[in-house]
Amino acid sequence: MNGTQEKIDAAGRFEASWGNEQTFMPGHYPIYYEWAFRTGDDDVETLAGKIKPQELKGLDVGKLWMNVEDIGYGKNLEYHGRLDPANPDRQGVMPFEGALRMVGPETPTMVQRPGADEKTWVGNLAALLNLGTQYRTTSLATLSGFTQNVIWQEQDDPLLVPPIYGRWYAQQDGSHTLKPAQQGNWLEQLNLDPAYRAAAGLGAEVVRQHQDEFVGRAWEQFSMPRRNLNIELLRLRFAQEVTRATYAKHFAIPATPTEAAINRQIALTNTLHSVVMLDGGQR
C-alpha cells in the first residue's frame, strides 16, 4: 500500500497470527534469526517510465530463416529462389515466422507466393508428399520425378516420404492428395510451407512423447459415456421386464381361456366398448 502511495486507513481489530494452540511451546514464536531484503535501484513506476518504444521494420522482424537448398530428396527439391531480393545472402532460404509478428498484412504462405521458383518448389514438394498415397494404387514406373530412392539408389524400393499433417483433422482419408492450386485450403497451406511443417512436426513430437498419457485420457473420456449408457440400458431392461410382467398378469389370455380371464379382459377394456365399431356398424 505504501509503495503505491495510497493512504492506509485505520486498521481494525488485530489478531495474533501464531496463537498458543499452534505450537507445543506456548509463548514461543518462530522468528528469522537473519533475513535480508532489498529492491532494485528504482521503483516500478520509475522503471516503467524508462521503457521506450522502438520502431520495428524490415523482413527480419519475428522471423528466422531456414536453408532449404537441399533437404535430401534430390534435385527436384533444391530451392534456389530468393524471397528477399535486396539481400544476396538470402538465396535458398525461407522464413520461419514466430507467434509474435508485426502489425499489418499477413506473410503469405509458400503455396500463395507468385514467384516461379516458389511455385515449382511447392509443386515438387506436393508430388513428394502425395507419394505416400499414390504408392498404394500406382506403380513406381508411372510415378514421375521420384521413382528412384535417393538414399539407396534402388529403383524397386519406395521412398519413405514425409507425412501429410492435419489430414485426419480435415476429415481426409488415406486417399487424399495435396493440390497446390487450392491455395485457400489450410491443409495445403500447412503442408506445403516448410515453416508450418516444422511447427507441425514439433507438435507431433509432443504427442509421441506423451502418447500413453493421451491415450489414457481418451479412454477415460470414452468410458464415461459408456458407463452412463450402461446405466440407461439397465433402466430400459428393467422397464421392459416390468411391462412384460404387467402384460402377462393383466392382459394376456391363456391358451385355454377361462371365465375369470375373459371377465378380467372385459373389465380392463370396458372404457373402450362405447367407441369400438362392430361389423354391422353397431357400437
Q: Which residues contact 264 (CB under 8 A, 6 or more apart)?
A: 250
> Which residue, 169, 189, 208, sits at the end of a domain?
208
- For residues 127-152, one letter each, b for 16 or more C-beta atoms within 10 angstroms of the residue's C-beta and e for the rest, the string is bbbbbbbbeeeeebeebeebeebeee
pLDDT value, residue 70: 81
Number of domains in the chain: 2
Q: What is the pLDDT of residues 145-166, one digit of tens each?
A: 555 554 445 555 566 788 888 8
Q: Whole-angstrom Cα distance, residue 242 to residue 234?
A: 12
Rg (CA), the chain: 39
Does the residue 16 lie in any domain?
A: no
pLDDT value, residue 143: 64
Does the residue 31 lie in any domain?
A: no
Residue 75 φ/ψ, nearest 5 degrees: -65, -25
> Which residue, 208, 235, 266, sits at the end of a domain?
208
Q: Whole-angstrom Cα distance, residue 101 to residue 59?
A: 11
> Which residue, 186, 208, 230, sits at the end of a domain?
208
Does the residue 55 lie in any domain?
A: no
Query: Are residues 171 and 257 both part of a single domain?
Result: no
Does the residue 24 lie in any domain?
A: no
pLDDT value, residue 1: 45
Tell me the whole-structure pTM to 2 decimals: 0.55
Q: What is the pLDDT of residues 199-217, one digit of tens each?
A: 899 999 999 999 999 999 8
Query: Are residues 118 and 228 both part of a single domain?
Result: no
Q: Whole-angstrom Cα distance, residue 8 to residue 224?
A: 53
Does the residue 47 lie in any domain?
A: no
pLDDT value, residue 240: 93
Whole-angstrom CA distances from 267 to 71, 245, 272 are: 89, 19, 10
Domain residues for 187? 63-208
Q: Whole-angstrom Cα distance, residue 172 to residue 191?
A: 14
Does the residue 32 lie in any domain?
A: no
Query: Are residues 96 and 189 both part of a single domain?
Result: yes
pLDDT value, residue 158: 61
Query: Are residues 150 and 258 both part of a single domain?
Result: no
Does the residue 176 lie in any domain?
A: yes
pLDDT value, residue 232: 87
Q: How far apart are the first and last CA of the chain?
A: 92
Low-confidence residues of the chain: pLDDT under 50 = 1, 150-152
